[in-house]
């Protein structure tokens, strides 16, 4: 296995479902040693909710089972050897279960991922991705509930960037940092960066998903004038050159795209280089040339791809508590986290 930029970094992941596991998957693919800490009884709910997603998000990690309510002391031993701890409890739960995490390890980077942050009027509210999207403004912009958990992933990847920045800071200061990551706030950043009124809502002819003959779909993203010109030339309609944003043109393009299959449109427009792509089904990703080098066994790797895909761990997602004895023994004798110098 090739060493990544985070080789030697030890990460404790106390999270469940998607945001935290996605965050620690990226850290793992960058070379970190990630240990998933699970409750002996419930564990990560994602095992039952979506076994395939659990397997995809937790490959290459190890799992230990700790009952923090009855005996949090093994976690203290692990924190002494860890560089990073990621938790996704409701605000106040970590302080109640294991207050020493925040008090006794000044060099530890603690990333706290929650729906609404550790402070503020919504800190204690329960929530899931759909609620964070609603409150952030993203759902109003999207117009429908997306099939991908956008707030969860935005929160997870924002957590990655915050953790990396905190590790870099620790190299200079020898001190860690507690990071307060709100999934709602992370999603809102993307929404606020968008233009109002939104011309990218799929109603404009130059930026729309089109239903093709046979049921497939093809998207056009010809926002810039040169790309729209290339599209118009490719379909033989120079009279459309000044109508890229004209919603009255949309029905005509709907009718046009319905005359060919998705793959026929892909073949016809590929040479035009007009920002068009086929809408792939998930089942088609593995066989598509764009993803040929991005699979780790059965699963797609994470980004950024700083470690060659072939060098990443293909170890399957762990069974709950599979590595408890191994990790406790190994980390108990490990050297403390590295400092600058």
Q: What CA–CA distance (Å, rounded) separates 217 from 258?
A: 9
Q: Check 128, 180, 266, 323 and give the catalytic one.
A: 128
The count of other CB atoms within 10 Å of the CB of residue 254 is 13
CB 194 within 8 A of CB 125: no
Let me know if 323 is a catalytic residue.
no
Q: What CA–CA distance (Å, rounded) separates 163 from 178?
A: 9
H/E element holding 111?
A: strand 109-114
Cis? peptide before 304, omega within 30° of 0: yes
H/E element holding 114?
A: strand 109-114
Q: What CA–CA distance (Å, rounded) separates 94 from 177?
A: 16
Torsion sign across C-alpha atoms 162, 167, 172, 177: positive
Which runs of consecutive H residues, i.e. helices, occur in the chain? 19-29, 46-49, 51-58, 73-81, 93-97, 100-103, 129-136, 138-142, 150-173, 183-192, 225-234, 250-257, 262-270, 324-332
Q: Which two tokens stand for residue 330?
A: 């190994």
Let me know if 152 is a catalytic residue.
yes
H/E element holding 278?
A: strand 276-278
CB 81 within 8 A of CB 332: yes
CB 149 within 8 A of CB 183: no
- Pick the closest to residue 231 from 215, 223, 210 (CA basis): 223
Q: Check 33, 83, 129, 152 and give the catalytic one.
A: 152
Please list the active-site residues.
128, 152
């Amino acid at each position: 296995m090739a060493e990544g930029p985070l080789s030697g970094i030890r990460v404790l992941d106390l999270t469940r479902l998607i945001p935290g596991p996605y965050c620690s998957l990226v850290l793992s693919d960058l070379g970190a040693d990630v240990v998933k800490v699970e409750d002996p009884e419930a564990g990560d709910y994602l095992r039952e909710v979506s076994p395939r997603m659990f397997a995809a998000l937790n490959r290459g990690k190890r799992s230990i089972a700790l009952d923090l309510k009855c005996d949090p002391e093994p976690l203290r031993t692990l924190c002494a050897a860890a560089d990073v701890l990621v938790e996704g409890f409701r605000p106040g739960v970590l302080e109640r279960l294991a207050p020493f995490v925040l008090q006794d390890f000044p060099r530890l980077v603690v990333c706290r991922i929650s729906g609404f942050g550790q402070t503020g009027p919504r800190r204690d509210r329960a929530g899931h991705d759909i609620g964070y999207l609603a409150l952030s403004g993203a759902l109003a912009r999207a117009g429908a509930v997306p099939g991908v958990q956008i707030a969860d992933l935005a929160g997870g990847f924002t957590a990655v960037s915050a953790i990396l920045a905190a590790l870099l800071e620790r190299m200079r200061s020898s001190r860690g940092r507690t990071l307060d990551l709100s999934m709602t706030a992370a999603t809102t950043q993307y929404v606020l960066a968008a233009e109002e009124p939104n011309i990218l809502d799929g109603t404009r002819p130059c930026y729309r998903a089109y239903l093709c003959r046979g049921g497939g779909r093809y998207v056009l993203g010809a926002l810039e004038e040169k790309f729209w010109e290339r599209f118009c030339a490719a379909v033989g309609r120079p009279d459309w050159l000044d109508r890229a944003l004209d919603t009255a043109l949309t029905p005509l393009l709907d009718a046009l795209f319905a005359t060919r299959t998705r793959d026929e449109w892909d073949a016809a427009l590929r040479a035009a280089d007009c920002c068009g792509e086929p809408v792939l089904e998930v089942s088609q990703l593995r066989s598509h040339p764009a993803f040929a080098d991005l699979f780790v066994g059965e699963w797609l790797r994470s980004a950024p791809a700083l470690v060659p895909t072939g060098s990443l761990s293909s170890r399957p997602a762990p069974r709950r508590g599979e590595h408890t004895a191994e990790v406790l023994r190994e980390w108990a004798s490990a050297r403390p986290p590295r400092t600058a110098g």
